[in-house]
Chains A and B, each alone.
Chain A
């Protein structure tokens, strides 16, 4: 009984700590007053309306979706191909190549972004959404590679061999055998990359100029201090991400 009580209390405290910022963020996005702090002066949707009517934010939202989709697709293709190469055991220097491809995981985003910024500066290449996309594909390729590799195994290698023996070309083997067999992993890798790119700030901040992504636009919104509009953006982003995660969960669960 005492044990039950102690555990319950700890769960309550920790979940309180974990949820508190999100609850405060969402509640005060409905603030009728001018500041997202107590006292709560009544319910209003005007800040949500202000967000949806803000052209800069909507353009940034579109940019973010674009960068996330394109960079995640690039990461997925690169990661998938490399995972296939490593999984069937005939790649020379396999360990070293694996190490190299996964290396970006252990380096700070700030350092990756700064390295790319310095290189682009020296080469005289201007910043754009493309450079942001390159940065995001650098951080997401190892992720896609690792997820694809962990889903590949003996079963799929045997099936590939069988297909090849039956005369299938390399493209058909990949498209008709490998990809369908690890489809849940492909979807998971793609969606995870999407959320990482979608939420990434520092690389996007360093490598963009005039066209910016949503986190960078939100960053400039923060300069206005405490503002219920920032709460409203945060709540809407939360809603959207939660929706994607839930969809991914349902897809992978149904596949099992």
Chain B
């Protein structure tokens, strides 16, 4: 008797849980999984002069691997993204370190909040703000010529794209690296010093491995967002060496070739997956 009561209570709880999860589940299924599946199918279709033709052909993928313009865009995207990830980690790590370890505790929150203030400007406007700095007669060149230095050609270039991206992701990485630094037990550092490790050895063998998850998570997020972003390369990079998202948007807009856009998106997702597989093993603390 009591057992059946318990079972029916369990069944009721389970039913309730299913009913609660159902809306979000169905929403994600309908507006995320289904569109993704449709796009995957679409990537095998063809766009002809008469319109879309349903088919199962690898023609779009063949075009991608056969035409240098497409391959170059993919290569541009990967180069830009790797450079951005590298520079962002390089700049963000010392900043997160100083905030977490060198600043007095009561200033930490303020320092962290200040480090991400530009997040609250509009994303589109942030890239635009960099064009004010990098333009031919912009702020940086005005400073340079005031100091009697030669003027640089920075606007509409890959340097501009990488600078704009690095600015954004440095802020993001300060957060993830800071989070892993404050989780680190402080006595491990002292133990390493007691055992005779110098500052460099302590960093190399104790601190770096312990903060690796923060770096890896941040680096993956950077890679995933950066390689899929259209705004920054479009505003800062100009129309010369296109990034993959710019090429995708060209298919959507000017050429109205959704199947090719779908193919390029699938290829983009493959790059993100590879980056995930490459960083996933560092996302957990070693030896745990």
Contacts and interface: CB of A to CB of B under 8 A. Distances in A.
A36 B132 contact: yes
Interface stretch (A42-50, A51-59, A133-141, A181-189): A133-141
Given A7-B98, A85-B17, A202-B230, A15 B115 contact: yes
25 contacts: A14-B94, A18-B118, A21-B130, A21-B132, A22-B117, A77-B23, A85-B16, A90-B13, A90-B14, A92-B14, A100-B25, A106-B224, A108-B228, A110-B228, A116-B35, A118-B35, A118-B39, A137-B31, A138-B31, A170-B16, A201-B123, A201-B124, A215-B124, A219-B124, A234-B129
A119 B38 contact: yes
Contacts of B167: 17-18, 21
A67 interface: no
A188 B170 CA distance: 24
A199 B122 contact: yes
A62 interface: no
Interface in A176-223: 195, 199-202, 206, 214-215, 218-219, 222
Interface of B, helix, strand, loop or mixed by DSSP: helix
A138 B26 CA distance: 11
Nearest to A120: B35
Interface string B94-131: 11001000100000000100110110111111101111
Interface in B223-249: 224-225, 227-231, 235, 245, 248
B277 interface: no
Most buried by B among A17, A20, A108, A200: A108
Contacts of A234: 121-122, 125, 128-129
Nearest to B23: A78
A217 B29 CA distance: 31
A233 B128 CA distance: 12
Interface stretch (B61-69, B133-141, B201-209): B133-141
B265 A103 contact: no
A82 interface: yes
Interface size for chain B: under 10, 10 to 19, 20 to 34, or 35 or more residues? 35 or more
B262 A118 contact: yes
A250 B42 CA distance: 48
B42 A81 contact: no
B124 A145 contact: no
Interface string B245-277: 100100010000010011001001100100010
A215 B123 contact: yes
A195 B122 CA distance: 10
Interface residues of A, number: 79
B195 interface: no
Contacts of B124: 201, 215, 218-219, 222
A2 to B, nearest CB: 13
A111 B268 contact: yes
Most buried by A among B24, B94, B115, B258: B24
B254 to A, nearest CB: 14
Given A111-B268, A237-B122, A15 B114 contact: yes
B139 A38 contact: yes
Contact of B31 (A14, A134, A202): A134
Contacts of A97: 21, 25
B142 interface: yes
A247 to B, nearest CB: 12
B125 A108 contact: no
Contacts of B130: 21
A251 interface: no
B71 interface: no
A1 to B, nearest CB: 13
The 9 A-B pairs at the shortest CB distance, nearest first, are namely A108-B228, A115-B35, A234-B125, A21-B129, A85-B20, A82-B24, A85-B21, A91-B17, A241-B120
Interface in A81-101: 81-82, 84-86, 88, 90-92, 97, 100-101
Contact of A112 (B17, B32, B98, B135): B32
B193 interface: no
A109 B115 contact: no
Nearest to A4: B102
A88 B123 contact: no
B95 A90 contact: no
A195 B131 CA distance: 24
Contact of B135 (A7, A37, A118): A37
